[in-house]
Amino acid sequence: MRLNDVKPGEKCVIKSVKTHNTFGKRLCDLGFVEGTGVTVLAVAPLGDPIEFYLRGYRITLRKNEAALVEVVPDERERIWKR
């Protein structure tokens, strides 16, 4: 699943960043690294950009940029919702 597919309010964990150019390095510098928890805060009315919360700060990415980040659902959230 890609980060741009996650709905507002849902939490996920980063699995990998699918790019090897300077933007991919910039994402890693911003904290988009394997194992980091991410919460989707809001999506703009037309679907672009998307606001995320990770490592204690908020960041906004365009939809195509968020599509470069592969994530998995946060299993801790699934357990708490039972």
Which pTM was predicted? Answer: 0.82
Residue 81: the pLDDT is 53
pLDDT for residue 13 is more than 90: yes
* 27 Cβ contact list (under 8 Å, min separation 6): 17, 19, 65, 68, 69
**4-12: average pLDDT:** 92
- Third-level CATH fold of 3-80: SH3 type barrels. (2.30.30)
Q: Which amino acid is at 11?
A: K
Q: What is the pLDDT of residues 20-78, one digit of tens each?
A: 788 888 888 888 999 999 999 999 998 889 999 999 999 999 999 999 999 999 877 65
pLDDT for residue 79 is more than 70: no
What token pair was written down for 78? 């699934």
What token pair was written down for 44? 């703009």
Under 8 Å between Cβ of 77 and 11: yes
